[in-house]
Amino acid sequence: MRTCFLALILTVTSVAAAPSSVRECQHKVKETINPPRGWTKVKPAPADHTIELRIGLPQSNFALLEQDLYQVSDPFHERYGAHLSKEEVDALIAPQAESVDLVDEWLASHGIATEQLSRSSARDWIKIKVPVSLVEDMLKTEYHVWVHEESGEAMVRTTSYSLPEYLLDHVDVIQPTTMFARFKGQATSYWFAEGERPVVDLSQPYIPIPSAYNGEVNASCNGSITPTCLKELYNAVGYVPQAADKNHIACTGYLDQYADFEDFKLFNEALVPEAANSTFEVIYINGGENSQNLSDAGIEADLDTQYAFGLTYPTPRTFYTTGGSPPYIPDDHTPENSNEPYANWLEYIMNVENPPQTISTSYGDDEQTVPESYAKRVCAELAQLGARGVSLIFSSGDYGVGDGDPNPATQQCYTNNGLNETRFIPEFPATCPYVTAVGATWYLPERAYYISGGGFSNYFARPWWQNYAVPTYLDKLAPGTYAGLYNASGRAIPDVSAQGQWFKIFVGGEEIYIGGTSAAAPTTAAMVSLLNDARLANGLSPLGYLNPFIYAIGQYAPKALNDITVGNNPGCGTEGFNATVGWDPVTGYGTPNFYNLKDVALGNLTAIRELL
């Protein structure tokens, strides 16, 4: 296929070579999309606007990597817990040498030398900074400035791009091209706390809940969730971390969300007094910041760090602040288009030799705003982290089965396929099968919180570990329920859930209450981190990729999770799915019962049948 470059040279001296050049170098469309709903094309992108282009090369042995991932994560497999090293993962996903050479030659033909390229450690990603004019020539496309009507955010994007035919099998994806996701935080439902916080009857100081610590929870927790409430409710009272020299938990922050140290101090002084003088490490990625001006304190960042870190003290903790919020202003001459913060974080964490064993992320966007090719490539990156022993926790979204409209009654859930079909809208990255998606509950006793994101992916097929839970749920639905509104064969979310409302936090020096799956995700991550602590303290490996473990527990050891059977998640003009006995697409397999989970985790599931 290298004759394409030779033919280009021949055209300089031989007219006869021209037809061959045209034929052999002909471009073919690699990807095309319909513009996502809510975005308007404003004007052509400035020719000198700089784009940080990422080129993903095919990962040669991803099937083997996935096989290894499942084996080391399946609690019934002999390899369970034998996680891979970074070097072993890199070797499995390294692209073929031919792909590397052909892409390098193509870039060189456009005047881009190899020393201008930045490569991932496995050489499966190439990153370059190039002006719009050059990218348009390389990809035979046109970039425009697009504006999101609701938020006013702007991006430089195209809706289609092409590659020379000989490169089609040697390039998986190129972005930013067709990617319109805004990657928003999931603490957007904090306003639900206003006006609905229940008045607690303190004449009866405790609420009986059999699965809770000592079978009861303080009645105040029905209107004010604190770390003490969560430990009582999820049966974790009295557990003290023992492996602080080995274990590590982290939260991610984006979009100028700053985690304030003074707020963290106030939170601990009020609610976790043993941690009053503690702090956390901050790692700055791609120009990320963490302003300590109280007026800049971020609700999302403060919520995540206060609960993930407050529940796991004294486990070492890290807050990743990643730059790359949408900075482009249509009338500005912004020098770079760096509005893909999650890609920047992934690039960083993939190169960390020993990443934290548990990482919580409360961000995402409608799955359909992320091109399928890119979603699958990002998901493959997350699989690599799972194979290395990292538990990845994602909130499932705050809009039930619907889109970004917080009012279930007015949601208009249309597809982006140009047909404007009504369809449930799942959330990505929660729909990636290699992460654990967390829904939300509220009230005591617990019931499904109606904002809990749940449903079925349109990109990812149902994984094997859901082959019992999901069909069992679907068999309970009346025939024809929501026919055509969801993909019954897709990866289903959430996997588990946790409390997601009336969390007491400190923001900007003030005490407030907040909710959403943003509260449920760090709570779940904290419980997972404590399980990792118990395993590490007993000479075992961390849990790593959680889902095969969770679904084995759900099927065989139901007492290790608190089944939520009441509630639903309305949206798109429907009542949504309902919570029921066993797994459901509102609360997953339910909320954690820490000490029962610990018994199973330490017994490598040999304790399962004792809990039946």
283 CB neighbour count, 10 Å cutoff: 16
Q: Is 451 annotated as a binding residue?
A: no
Q: 3-state SS of 250-287?
A: EEEECCCCECCHHHHHHHHHHHCHHHCCCCCEEEEECC
Query: Which pair of tokens denotes residue 333?
Result: 């001459």
Does 304 qualify as catalytic in the annotation? yes
Pairing assessment for the beta strands 436-442 and 50-56 based on DSSP bridges: unpaired
Q: Which of 82, 605, 123, 94 has the alpha carbon at shortest distance from 387?
A: 82
Q: Whole-angstrom Cα distance, residue 490 to residue 457?
A: 5
Structural contact between residues 493 and 437, judged by C-beta atoms closer than 8 angstroms: yes
* Closest-CA residue to 597 (of 528, 519, 497, 520): 528
31, 300, 367, 403: the catalytic one is 300
- The DSSP bridge pattern shows strands 184-185 and 363-366 to be antiparallel
Confirm whether residue 563 is marked as ligand binding: yes
DSSP letter, residue 58? P
Q: Is 66 a catalytic residue?
A: no
How many CA atoms does the CB half-sphere of 61 hold within 13 Å? 13
Structure tokens belonging to residue 42: 């404003």
The catalytically annotated residue of 518, 529, 533, 599 is: 518
DSSP state of 224: -
Residue 301, CB-side half-sphere exposure with 13 Å CA sphere: 29
Annotated binding residue 564 = yes
Residue pair 323/344 in contact by the 8 Å Cβ criterion: yes
Nearest-angstrom CA–CA distance, 538 and 327: 47
Examine the residue annotation and report whether 142 is marked as an active-site residue of this protein.
no
Active-site pick, 66, 136, 260, 304? 304
Tell me the residue type at 2.
Answer: R
Question: Distance (Å, rounded) from C-alpha 178 to C-alpha 506?
Answer: 38
Q: Decide: 571 and 408 in contact? Cβ < 8 Å.
A: yes
Is 366 annotated in a binding site? The answer is no
Entry field: residues in the chain = 612
Q: Decide if 440 contacts 520 (C-beta within 8 A).
A: yes
Comparing C-alpha atoms, which of 491, 453, 465 is closest to residue 362? 453
Binding residues for Ca(2+): 563-564, 582, 584
Binding residues: 563-564, 582, 584
Which residues are the active-site residues?
300, 304, 518
